[in-house]
Amino acid sequence: MRILTKKFVHRAILIISVFFVSVNLSAQETDAYEKAKTEMEQTFGTFPSFFASYPKHALPEAWELFKTLKGPKGSISSKNAELIQLAVASQIPCVYCVYFHRISAQAYGATEVEINEAIALGAETRHWSMILQGSGISFEDFKSEFDNMMKYMAEKAKN
């Protein structure tokens, strides 16, 4: 009986400890969520629905990643990053993403010519991807052929 009581007490202590740790983590998660939400409201003037629909426990990390990738520390300019994302978005296709990245690219100074070129480059990549995938060309053969093409063009450019 004493062993059962001892096991019960140990389990009860463990359960209570886990409960308090999870309550503490939950409070920390809530604080991090509210901080991220407040930062978004200060940045955008609203709490965007696409972030509001994100899992609450993961939102702070999603917001940090968004800020990091969109921030000034990147080696790709904001305009070019938006053009890249627009090219990808147009090929997924995602109307939400196309709208977001088109307007954002314009805000960073992209012209209609640059926007249309980015979309065309995305389409060309998808086009050739489908041709290559469907034709059954060996990837190793493709790499060898392309490497030789690049060497040839580099040599030709020197002359």
CATH code of 97's domain: 1.20.1290
* Domain, as residue range, for 110: 78-159
User: What does the pLDDT read at residue 27?
Assistant: 72
Phi, psi angles (nearest 5°) of residue 59: -60, -45
Strand segments, DSSP code E, in the chain are none
Asked if residue 12 lies in contact with residue 5, where contact means CB atoms within 8 angstroms, the answer is: no
Is the model more confident about 50 or about 159?
50
Distance from C-alpha of 64 to C-alpha of 144, rounded to nearest angstrom: 40
In a domain, 47, yes or no: no
pLDDT above 90 covers a percentage of the chain that reads 77
The angle formed by the CA atoms of residues 117, 123 and 127, to the nearest 5 degrees, is 140
User: In which band, very low, low, confident or very high, does the pLDDT at 21 lie, cut at 50, 70 and 90?
Assistant: very low
Asked if residue 118 lies in contact with residue 131, where contact means CB atoms within 8 angstroms, the answer is: no
Residue with tokens 């489908």: 130
- Round the average pLDDT of the chain to a whole number and report it: 90
In a domain, 113, yes or no: yes
Indicate the number of domains in the chain.
1
133-151 pLDDT tens trace: 999 999 999 999 999 999 9
In a domain, 63, yes or no: no
